[in-house]
Amino acid sequence: MRLSRAVAMAAILAAPLAIYGQKALPPPPPGFESAGSSASREAMKQAGVADIVIAQKPNDNWPGCILDPKIEFTYGWTLSPGAGQAVGRMAQAPEDPPTESMGTRDEPAGKASYKGGVLTWRKTSTLAAGMASSKCPGNRVEMYNARWVAYAEDKMLSVGLVRVYGGKAQAQAWLDEYIPKVQAAAAGK
């Protein structure tokens, strides 16, 4: 019993040391609003095992034929011994095949080694039905999802965007801006 108390006390006292040297992640880009902070994300941040930001914003130039699902922007790092091996397996694995369900098609849109990690793109095409469907070209809405994953020492790094309307260019710009910021925060620089 005394040993378990000693281990628990050591963990409590070591938690502030675990985050010593960590740099806070930057706020999301202009226009994005934080999706809030959960108690578990705050606890992981305080324990020095993860720091994750989740933010959302409406899509620019949304055609209005279906409800705007909003862009979700997630970035951060997670303590993950063996992250290098996991990223290596991700790089070698083939892309997931296309799927289709209830009028939505999800398909590969590119995968490559990028900035020390792996960048994977997916394209989602959703059927627009109903009276407003004529506002969408070909009665479909196309959105892109992007996920960059890398590692630094014992941390898994990630920057991801989901449901970006209007092509890859803006998503790529956000990736290029935030990848070095996440790398710096994880390294404590």
Per-residue pLDDT tens digits for 69-110 = 899 999 999 988 888 888 888 888 999 999 999 989 999 999
SS3 35: coil
The sign of the CA dihedral 166, 169, 173, 175 is positive
CB-based contact 145:59 (threshold 8 Å): no
Calculate the alpha carbon distances from 21 to 16, 184, 189 in Å: 10, 11, 8
CB-based contact 33:58 (threshold 8 Å): no
DSSP track, 48-106: TSEEEEEEEEPPTT--SSS----EEEEEEEEE-TTHHHHHHHHHHSPPPPPEEETTEEE
Q: Which residues pair with 161 in a beta bridge?
A: 73, 146
CA distance 21 to 170: 32
Mean pLDDT over residues 44-50, rounded? 85
pLDDT of residue 86: 85
SS3 26: coil
Confidence of residue 13 (pLDDT cuts 50, 70, 90): very low
Q: Does position 189 have pLDDT exceeding 70, yes or no? A: no
CA distance 183 to 150: 9
Mean pLDDT over residues 23-42, rounded? 86
| Tens of pLDDT, residues 134-175 | 777 778 899 999 999 999 988 999 999 999 998 999 999 999
CA distance 48 to 164: 31
Q: Does position 132 have pLDDT exceeding 70, yes or no? A: no
